[in-house]
Structure 1
Amino acid sequence: MAVVLVVGCATRLAYNNLDVWLSYRFSSYVSLDSSQDSAFDRGLDRALAIHRRQELPKIHRTIDDLQADLLTPMTFSQMQEYYTVFTRLGQDSAAILADPLADLLVSLNEAQVAQLEGHLRQRFAEYDQKRAKLSQPEKLAKRAERLQDFTQDWLGSLTSRQEELLTELAGYQLEMSPVFRSLRNGYFERLKQLMENRTSPAFKAQFTQLMRDMVALNSPKYQAEIRFYLNRRFELMRRLNHTMSPQQKAFLNRKLVNLRKDVALLINQ
């Protein structure tokens, strides 16, 4: 689903303004001079042109395949396969965007690096503090509500059984929170270490690998826990898929048709 969102939240307008959004988001973490800002904008333009030409056709084909497979109830293996396919697409998209971002990071001076790391650390702390104020039932309810809202966008109205399944998924995610937090902190430490050697010829390749690992939740230390969580999620999503009514299937198909049309139009712009 990350790849679907990269397409621009199913709107061509958002995708066509993705360079502006990315530049704006990065500027909220570090102040750039005019030269850095211009170089970053040019790099984003080149990266998104490559993404449009190279990655959007892959996304289009995958959505088409998904529509065909959704005509019958999906199996555990199919859930696993589509996770792998969409994760790989997400990694490839991240790798393309990593190129201009790596160039920008190389250009940062020590004060800018400190500002970037400080803002990231502050955002993490604010998020952790906000979550720490909630009880476990409150965390579960909030996460379940978010999952249900997201699913309603794709299926329409949900049944009570489907809401129960999504609450179950929220519980899986809540159990994994310590692992997800450790992954985040580990990726941050890797970024800090990379930034200490950002003038190295190997920096861009190492930074790109970090981006790919983040998208796929790769971590040797936690790979067993991640695999266990994903398998539970695949099985739950299989059960959720089997509860879909004809109306929900039609609703989802219309959403995917519109998304596929948007991607096709973006490819041919």
Structure 2
Amino acid sequence: MPHIQGTPPSTRCCRYTAIIGLIALLVSGCSSTTLAYRQLDWAIVWWVDDFIPLTDPQEDRLSQQVDQLLAWHCQSELPQYTQWLDQLRNHIATPPIQSETVLAQQDALFDAIDRLLIEITPATTELLAGLTDSQVEALAETMAEKRQEREEELLSEDPQEQLEKREERVRERAERWLGPLMPTQRAIISQWNAERGRQTEIWFDGRARWQAALLDALEDRTEPDFPGRIRQLVTNSSAYRGEEYRLMLKQSRPALAQLITDLMNAATPDQRVHLRDEIDSLREDFETLRCDQRHPTAA
């Protein structure tokens, strides 16, 4: 079953550009996957420009690199997504599902993200190394503003309200793939959510630590070790987020797999049909995409 993590999507500079494609294809409620995918080139540039006011040469260079990234992704990664969906469809056709099976599917998604992160590292390094002092200042201000906005939205002074909002987000994502939930499934989500404790707060704290490490690296962006520091920040971000974050991550992945397992094993026949139809629709979208040397197009 696709990702329904209860924590909010990350706004980490540049690292997130690699994950936009995966989110657009596997998580969002977009009615047209092909449309979303074809628009990724300008969407990524627009997203980066929202954090860093780019000059025209920087924007042109980034656009070229994004086109190269999307060409690689369409040719190398989309076929693997199709295989992943085929495996997922086979698993849901023969209940009950085992948590080990869900973990393996989950690991495949994380592997896809890791490949994306490796692929974007050179472009990320080049962009960040070429920033002016004023652009770095603008980046720092924008990250702080967006962090405050998200914290005000998702972190309430009332722990119970925060818990309820997180549970609501998870229910909405589950319903995206299963349709209306049964009382048993709502209870499963409620129990899972209650056991997550301070997960959202830890996530925000980890993101703040990562952003601080990025800004610290940008102070030395002309130094020889800068590319290595950025590579670590992009591909091994959890190393900068603190021990509490790493412990939370270690616990949350198997817990999420168990949540998905329990929801699927409690699914009604109609819900399984709903999920199968969603998978088939997504797979059909993948099949209609054709890759050229600039960007993907629909057949």
Q: TM-score, normalised by structure 2?
A: 0.80
Q: Distance in 2 between matches of 1:266 and 1:100?
A: 25
Partner of 1:7: 25
Partner of 1:163: 186
Counterpart code for 1:7 = L
When residues 204 and 249 of structure 1 are mapped into structure 2, their CA distance, relative to the original with a 3 A threshold, is farther
Q: Distance in 2 between matches of 1:42 and 1:201?
A: 25
Three-state SS of the structure 2 residue aligned to 1:157 is coil
2:137 aligned with 1:119: no
1:181, CA displacement in angstroms? 2.1
Counterpart code for 1:52 = C
* Structure 1 residues not aligned, in runs of 5+: none
Three-state SS of the structure 2 residue aligned to 1:45 is helix
When residues 67 and 131 of structure 1 are mapped into structure 2, their CA distance, relative to the original with a 3 A threshold, is closer
1:198, CA displacement in angstroms? 2.5
Q: Distance in 1 between matches of 2:159 and 2:134?
A: 39
Query: Which one of 175, 184, 190 corresponds to residue 152 of structure 1?
Result: 175
Instruction: Tell me if structure 2 keeps the 8 A contact 1:183–1:217.
Output: no
Query: Which one of 40, 43, 61 corresponds to residue 39 of structure 1?
Result: 61
When residues 121 and 135 of structure 1 are mapped into structure 2, their CA distance, relative to the original with a 3 A threshold, is same
Map of 1:15-164 to 2, 5 A cutoff?
15-72=37-94, 73-164=96-187
When residues 76 and 16 of structure 1 are mapped into structure 2, their CA distance, relative to the original with a 3 A threshold, is same
Aligned identity (percent) is 21
When residues 253 and 132 of structure 1 are mapped into structure 2, their CA distance, relative to the original with a 3 A threshold, is closer
Q: Distance in 1 between matches of 2:23 and 2:176?
A: 13
CA RMSD of aligned residues (A): 2.4
Q: TM-score, normalised by structure 1?
A: 0.89
Q: Distance in 2 between matches of 1:162 and 1:38?
A: 48
Partner of 2:10: none
2:215 aligned with 1:197: no
Instruction: Tell me if structure 2 keeps the 8 A contact 1:140–1:167.
Output: no
Counterpart code for 1:139 = Q
1:19, CA displacement in angstroms? 1.4
Post-superposition CA distance 1:41-62 (Å, at most 9, x none):
1111111111111111121111
Q: Distance in 1 between matches of 2:189 and 2:51?
A: 34
1:39, CA displacement in angstroms? 0.9
1:205, CA displacement in angstroms? 4.8
Q: Distance in 2 between matches of 1:160 and 1:24?
A: 42
Q: Distance in 2 between matches of 1:68 and 1:201?
A: 49
